[in-house]
Amino acid sequence: RRRFVRFSNEEYFKHNLTIVDKLKAIAERKGVTPAQLSIAWVASLGAKVIPLPGSSYVSVSHNSKHFVT
């Protein structure tokens, strides 16, 4: 990802971290993880958009499944 400007430019990277901090705060207020918040957001975009959460751990997948349905 370092080849993309949004990741390689220090100013952009700091801006992205600011957005991440805001998303973490929203997730904390809602009592969910940032990943669960992201899955719920994608699921809310409509019937033609399908979130595809991936995980190496079954427990994480089970934890995320109720945000998709």
pLDDT at 27: 97
Query: Which pLDDT value is given to residue 32?
Result: 94
pTM to 2 decimals?
Answer: 0.64
Residue closest to 50 by CA, chosen among 69, 23, 27: 69
For residue 4, the model assigns a pLDDT of 73
Separation CA 8–CA 11 (nearest Å): 9
Mean pLDDT of 41-54: 83
Q: Can you give the pLDDT at residue 57?
A: 65
